[in-house]
Every structure is written in structure tokens, then in C-alpha cells.
Structure 1
């Protein structure tokens, strides 16, 4: 039953309104003034409709309306102001106080009842929307918790601290939301060779994160028939390391888009021989590498013209080779860092290269964090609009003294993950 609180200091008016509204199917509760009305509403939480006189002692209808319509009140109240005045100034005052409707006392009771019914329809719609919003909030809270859990899982997929002979590695990975589409990693392929990669799935959100997770799992298998980074051969050592271009080709075949899946990704995959310093790499539509030369302190771009992974079935990728000198560093990054914006200006690949040279004298273990903080300071904002990933690999050189303990890798690795 629709419940109404009628507020009026005139007892005769209260009795009249209670009788005529009850006959029309409303459940009526009464109060003598605004103060009593607030008490009744506190005791009767189901009442959401108030029909109140304007002029009353203690607390008039205007003040009662203001309190019920304030943001601090516990629930939504549909408020109809009842007045003996029928002038524009009175109507404006009532509406400004927050009244939903304004009725003159000498209005025919059937019209008053009709307006009340219209008010209850509005109230029902409001309550329905409120309920749906609460359901959406609850669903969003569950989704947010699930996304945070997924983000934590993806975070755990990033490399933990490991010792890699002749190599020092540091990285930063910052998703733009709870989960992102960037993924990076490195792995010891054998006692001499280290594989490392960085990929950036187009778009954001769950679908991009799922693809980055899937690609990471495809690369993580580094032995047996399911491996794309190593293959079996008949002669000792009974395996061979897959060329970087072939790794990208196999990934392209695995993740080729169709009408139902339009995702693709850019990627760099590299293999560094930690004994000789030779680095083989292949790039798929990704920003160029930055090669910092220890001898000169200069940094240069190393890139390839190539297609992204997963978009076309006809592509081939190329394997290139670099000969590093001890202390040389290779920087790999996603475009979220170079496309960071300040107004209409982007940080840019050139800005990245210059920053790499600026921070070259600091320990490798802190350089990725320093670079990201430099971009944050430049854009004057802590947050990034896109996922940001930065990986730096330094070849420290290989000493013959390590020959006898190749299975005990000895170089520091630093990994930073920021939310």
C-alpha cells in the first residue's frame, strides 16, 4: 500500500485529508508540524511521500522540505507542498526549497489524489533506478575485485629476481588500469644464452590482458615439443635455439586474427649470447630498440620495418644481429612511455633516447625506475593513459672464471612493478 505522511498544524485539515486519501487507497500517517514529521519519518522508514502544509509553528513546510531534500538525509522523499497561496512567488519559493510538486489547498480533492498518484509513479521509477544502480554497484565491486585479482596474477607472471650469467636486467611494468596488455620477460635458454622479450597488445582491458597472458605462456615453454623458443635435434646437445624471426612467425601463426578476434600485438624478441655478447633480435611492428654504447655514452635507435603479430598471414620477419661490448645496454619499451603527453606534446622516442644517455652513469638496477619518474615529472602527472613497460638489458661481459660454474648464474636482476 502507498504510504503518505500528511503534515499540517490544522487538526481539522489533518482529519479531512486522512479520510479522503484513505478512501482512495492510501495509507495515511499524520504529524502536526515539521519537527514531529521528522520524528515520524525516523520511526517509519517505509514512508517516502510527504504532503505538507506550508505555514506551521516550530518548523514550517519550507524548512521541512529543505531538510528532507538535503544530501545528508537518509533516503529519498517525494515532497508535495500544500499552501493557501496561489502566486508565482510562493511556487518559486517551494520549488527552490526542493519540493517536487506544489498544490493549492482549495484544489479539488480528486486533482490532489491524481497528483499524488503521479508522484508515486515518479517515486516508483526513482526506487527502481536506485535498486538497479545498487545492483550495478554490487556487480562493479565484484568485477573490480576480480580485475584486481587478475592484475595480481599478471604481476606474478613478470620475472622474479633471477641470476643470469654475464647479464644485468631491470624492468618496470605499469598497467594503465587494473590489468593491461603489455607483457615482458626473460629466461635462461641454456648456460650461454638468455632470451628476452616485450610485447604490447592493441587496446586495453580484459581481452588484451588475456592475449598477453596467452602469448607469455606460449613463450614460457622452453623445452619439449611445445616449445617455440627451442627445438629438438638428433645430435648433442639435442636442441637448438630458435631464431628470433622464427619465434615471431610461429606466434603470428598461433594468434592470427579472424572475424571474431581482431586483436594483434607488437613485439621484440631477442637472444643474447652472454659469453660472446652477440645479440640476435627480431621486431614486429614495435618501436625501435635503443642501444647505449658504454665506450662513448651515445645511444642509437635500432629498428626494423615489419608487420605486427596476428594481423596478416603473409608476413615474414627478419633476424638481425648486434655485437655488444661489455657495459653496452639494450633498451626495449612500449609506446605508452614515448606517447605520454603534456598538452599536445609527446615525450617521444627522441626524448626516451636522450633520457637513456642522461641517466647512463647510474646503476642499471635503478635506471628503469629513474626513466619512468623522469617522464612522470615531465608530464606533471603520476598516471599514464596507456600501459607502460620498459626493459633494459646490460651485457656485463663474460669472464673465463665463470666457465666452471655456468650452472650457478651470478648477475643481479632488479624488477620493479608499479600500480
Structure 2
């Protein structure tokens, strides 16, 4: 790297600078004014060092410097302004125009050569940093594309069917970044039972997303010896549906943290008998559920004091049971929705409960989207700082013609209610 463009309208000065700099090992190209200099630089993209006179016709050194230092110019140029003036105002004008150095014409040629060499060292460092930044940009672009692909894959894992036998379901899942740590889902366990869940892995990014994906895969297997939601038995129907607390216990055993893996997650796992309306659920460190009563329009919290999944080996979970009436809804959500912020204020669980009651007359299929939009309007921002997941399940009741079931069973067994 020793190519220099010398610009001067004085032919004698131009020839002198070309001769002395060539003797010192520089490859010198010349131009008679600023306009010609721009043409030379366009034709010679390898030149990044310009030594230019100040006073020239058509385009002087100050204007040439301003153009080369503008953000729209195609490459970085190290610019040295050569002038017959040695006053402070001239130096300030040159530096304000973007010049990297200022040299008076009567400066000894050895000093000029030393300054040029120093300029090339700065130029080389700049080019190294630029090359490294380009490599980083390229790596980031690849990572961004991979993350977007991973995000699309996680979205495909979300259930497509919104209506199962005896229930109507609506959900929203919004990662705060390209991929998030929330996951939700539901499945037909058999003709009478539907399982549904929502989990929130601590943290954000790839590691959290991979864990949520892994947990989802663990739950998705609902047949055979590898299933954690069903267990084989010897009598017909040759399986039994595992209780929600048993499912959480198995997940805790599978994902117990060690010194190399400090990830854990909160979770709700539930099983609804679609013929009787009996709901069994177990909570692992997750916010309480919201139970919306169709008969009264009131909503209340139901929850349990419990530990997260994957943090402790001594954890025992509990299964709670409630009896739903036709039209009752169960809302499950991640704390990204209740901890949405407007200044120092949070939306809160109570804000969610009130909103659930306000939108109860709208179709179930649109209620989760309405809730999320209410929170967006409240915080005056489209974006959330945390992953947001909301799942609502409505028990529509047993089909007409089926034998009536006793729906007047105890409604508050093994569950804690939060007002």
C-alpha cells in the first residue's frame, strides 16, 4: 500500500512532488485540479491516499476534500491538505473540511514523507478494521438468516387446528426477538380428553428456544413407552392418561439443570375431559390461570405455589381439579403480557383479568388477538420486551344427544383462588 494521488495546478510543484516521493518508494499519480482528481480516483479504485494543494481553479482542495469525505463517497480516502498558508484559521478550515493532516508547502520533504508514512499506517489500520467489520457483517447476516429460519420452524410447531372435540381454542405467540423461549400447544389425548400447555423458558435467544423446542418434542410423543403424557397398562384401552403433576415431574427429571446448563422454565399443563368439563391442571412456577365463568361473566385467578421445572431435584407438583360449565374459558399466559410496561407501570395480572371480562362477548377465536392489541394500545408500542404467549380454551359442553353428565361436581378442589 503506497499509491498516492498528488493534486496541484502548479506543474512545477506537481513534477517536484512526483519526483521526490517516487524516490522514497511511493507510486505517484498526478492530477491538475480537483475535478481531474475525482476522475482519476474513479478510474483507479486502489488509490486511497490524496495529497492535494489548497488553492486550485475549478475545484479547490477544500471542496475536493469535502466530496471525498462525504458519506456518499464510495471508499475511505486519507486526505492531506498541502497549503502555502500556515495560519490557525487555515488549519481549522482544512480540518473542518475533513482533512486528516495539514502540511505547509515549505515543510522539508523528509517531514512530508514521514507524515505520509504515518498516514499509510492509519489507512492500513482503517482497512483492517473495515475488513473485520465486513466479515462480522457477513457472519451476522448468516446468523440472522439462520435465526429467521429457526423462528419459522418454531412457528410451524404451533398447532394449526383451532377447534377440537368439545373445545374452542385461540392463541397468540409472539417472540420478542427472532426466536423466543415461549411454547404452547394442545393435543387430543383420546376421544374424551384434550391436553394443553404453555411454558416459558428463562432468558431469550437460541438456548431458550432450543429448550422450548425440546420440551415441546417431549410432550408431543403421546403413544408408546417414550410418552410422558400417557402410560401403558395391561388392560384395555392399554393406556392411562398421566396426571398433570406426573407430567411436570417427568419433565423436571428430564431437564434438571447442572453446572453446564442453568436453564429452567415455568409451565402449566392441563387435561380437560370434554364430556364432563372436568379440568385437571398442574402449575410449575407459572402465573395463575384465569377462569372466566360464562354464567356470571366474572373472572378469577386459580393457581398453585410451586417450583419451576429444571431447577431442583426435590420438587413435588400437585394436580388441581375444577369443574367447568359450558361456555367457561380458561386463560393461560406468559408473564410477557402482564409485565408489559408503560414507563414504570406494568399491565399486571389484574389488568389482564379485567380485559378478559371486557372482551368476553366477542368470539373466542379473536379474543387472544384482541387482548394483545389492548396491551399494545395501553403501552403505546407494537413491540414487547419479553416473549408473549396467550392461550384460551373454551369448553363448549357435551354434544346434544349424549348422555347428560353431572356438571355440578365440586368446583374448588385442590386449587388456590386468587382474587
* Smaller-chain TM-score bracket: over 0.9
Counterpart of 2:131 in structure 1 is: 131
Counterpart of 2:408 in structure 1 is: none
- Partner Cα separation in structure 1 for residue 179 and residue 278 of structure 2: 35
Counterpart of 1:415 in structure 2 is: none
- Partner Cα separation in structure 2 for residue 402 and residue 103 of structure 1: 98
Provide structure 2 residue ranges, at least 5 long, that are not aligned to the other structure.
404-419
> Deviation digits for residues 190-245 of structure 1, max 9, x if unmatched?
00000000000000000000000000000000010000000001111111000000
> Tell me, what secondary structure is at the counterpart of 1:187?
strand
Counterpart of 1:390 in structure 2 is: 390
Counterpart of 2:102 in structure 1 is: 102
Counterpart of 1:322 in structure 2 is: 322
Q: CA deviation at 1:91?
A: 0.4
Counterpart of 1:156 in structure 2 is: 156
Counterpart of 1:173 in structure 2 is: 173
Counterpart of 1:414 in structure 2 is: none
Q: CA deviation at 1:401?
A: 3.2
How does the TM-score come out when normalised to structure 2?
0.95
The answer as to 2:372 corresponding to 1:380 is no
- Partner Cα separation in structure 1 for residue 48 and residue 328 of structure 2: 73
Counterpart of 1:47 in structure 2 is: 47
- Partner Cα separation in structure 2 for residue 279 and residue 230 of structure 1: 17
Counterpart of 2:275 in structure 1 is: 275
| Higher deviation after alignment, 264-273 or 133-142 | 133-142
- Partner Cα separation in structure 2 for residue 283 and residue 149 of structure 1: 31
Contact 2:201 2:208 in 1 (8 A): yes
> Tell me, what secondary structure is at the counterpart of 1:401?
coil
User: Alpha carbon RMSD of aligned pairs, Å?
Assistant: 0.8
- Partner Cα separation in structure 1 for residue 116 and residue 287 of structure 2: 66
- Partner Cα separation in structure 2 for residue 67 and residue 236 of structure 1: 84
How does the TM-score come out when normalised to structure 1?
0.95
> Deviation digits for residues 337-391 of structure 1, max 9, x if unmatched?
0000000000000000000000000000000000000000000000101000000
> Deviation digits for residues 232-269 of structure 1, max 9, x if unmatched?
01111111000000100000000000000000000000
Counterpart of 1:248 in structure 2 is: 248
Q: CA deviation at 1:275?
A: 0.3
> Tell me, what secondary structure is at the counterpart of 2:248?
helix
Counterpart of 1:337 in structure 2 is: 337
Count of residues in correspondence between the two structures: 403
**Which ranges of 4 or more aligned residues in structure 1 deviate by more than 2 Å?**
399-403
The answer as to 2:22 corresponding to 1:22 is yes
- Partner Cα separation in structure 1 for residue 402 and residue 213 of structure 2: 35
- Partner Cα separation in structure 2 for residue 148 and residue 402 of structure 1: 47
> Tell me, what secondary structure is at the counterpart of 2:164?
coil
* Relative contact order, higher structure (CA 8 A, sep 6+): 1
- Partner Cα separation in structure 1 for residue 38 and residue 152 of structure 2: 48
